[in-house]
Structure 1
Amino acid sequence: MFRVQHLVPQPDGQPPLFNWGNFKVDCLRIDGSEVAVTGRIVEAGPYWQEFMERKPTARMGLSFHIPKEGDGPARVAITAPAAADRPEVRKCSVKAPSDKVIEGGYRITDSRR
């Protein structure tokens, strides 16, 4: 299982929207400092309910670059669920982690422990 949660900034000083989703992992790939995971959504906050209604439910992917000291910034990428202009995300198929983590962060834990 993996969980994505984040705040979505809003204009005009409005409080940010909180969004989240839990995903059942169908692929996990670790290659040194690179991590990729895909899974199908099993629970979601109000902004991702449409992904829960699909049959089968939507698949999403995440990728991370977890740097060693002196190896530059942490990076992340989200491979969003399929939309009218995008095909279904394939198992183990994620974008390369290209977005620098500049604020907040990601926590990766092994829930089996």
Structure 2
Amino acid sequence: MELVMALAIGILFGSGIWLILRPRSFQVLTGLLLMSYAVNLFIFMMGRLWIDRPPLTLGAHLPDPATVADPLPQALVLTAIVIGFATTALYLVIMIGSRGLTGTDHVDGREPDQ
């Protein structure tokens, strides 16, 4: 299972890098999203996902650490998702404004000469 997840994360991140190097704004945005998904998966896998173990417990006594999941990776990924949505929205606004000013979605603001 570790090999499958490592391959999935590597393919997602590699695809994101490849898309970031493309000349169109939408491809750059898609590459950034793929990279953020890969990083979120990496953080989840490093935090060990547990089944049927709550991240937090409510009660007066301290729980046994072996019976609860670590809440830190979940909090980090949730924060990364929110920041990713905000960054994507900002980039979309900038991309639409650039398209309106230059008439193209090329990252340089002009089409390459043929």
Normalising TM by the smaller chain, what interval?
Answer: under 0.3
TM-score by length of 1: 0.21
Structure possessing the higher relative contact order (Cα contacts under 8 Å, 6 or more residues apart): 2
TM-score by length of 2: 0.21
Instruction: Indicate the structure (1 or 2) with the bigger Cα radius of gyration.
Output: 2
Comparing both structures, which one devotes a greater share of its residues to helix? 2
